[in-house]
Amino acid sequence: MGKEVKTNAMRMLDRQKIPYRLNQYECEEFIDGVTIADKLGQSYDISFKTLVTVGKSRQYYVFALPVDKELDMKKAARAVGEKNVEMVPVKDINKITGYIRGGCTPIGMKKQFPTVIHESAGKLDEMIISGGRLGEQIMLKPEDLLRATAGKLEDIIKD
């Protein structure tokens, strides 16, 4: 096997000297995070998905939350100081972030967008996010994800 090709997220973490572990698994097409966590025997509480939204101001925002939870749009908008936010259409994900659906991660997007991570991450020793492409995960400390994204912790999920 040749040299491992790193994603933008991995290169950014390396540049910032942030430690992480890489987990690779077989994946040819988009599979939701719950199915992946089940397949790999991972807890939903530490497995986070990345969602990209756009606010009324046309600014993009990134939210990371446990794979089995749903983003509360009102809480999300409040967390970023917008009147409301809505999901970015799947067809626009790559154009906006540089990543594809299922491989989108809060680290290393084309631009650094304001990032909010669900507050439950603050209680974790380690969390799992997408590695920047299908079949790859990054495992890191929540405080390191916050540092890499200049993010903040908030309650952003539906009760």
pTM: 0.95
* CA within 13 Å, CB half, 99: 26
Residue 34: strand pairing partners: none
28 to 57, 73, 102, 133: CA distances (angstroms): 36, 30, 10, 10
Q: What is 48-154's CATH number, 3.40.50.280, 3.90.960.10, 3.40.50.300, 2.40.70.10?
A: 3.90.960.10
pLDDT digit string, tens, across residues 132-157: 999 999 999 999 999 999 999 999 99
* pLDDT per residue of the chain (159 residues) written in tens, 0 to 9: 445 689 999 999 999 999 999 999 998 888 899 999 999 999 999 999 999 999 999 999 999 999 999 999 999 999 999 999 999 999 999 999 999 988 999 999 999 999 999 999 999 999 999 999 999 999 999 999 999 999 999 999 999
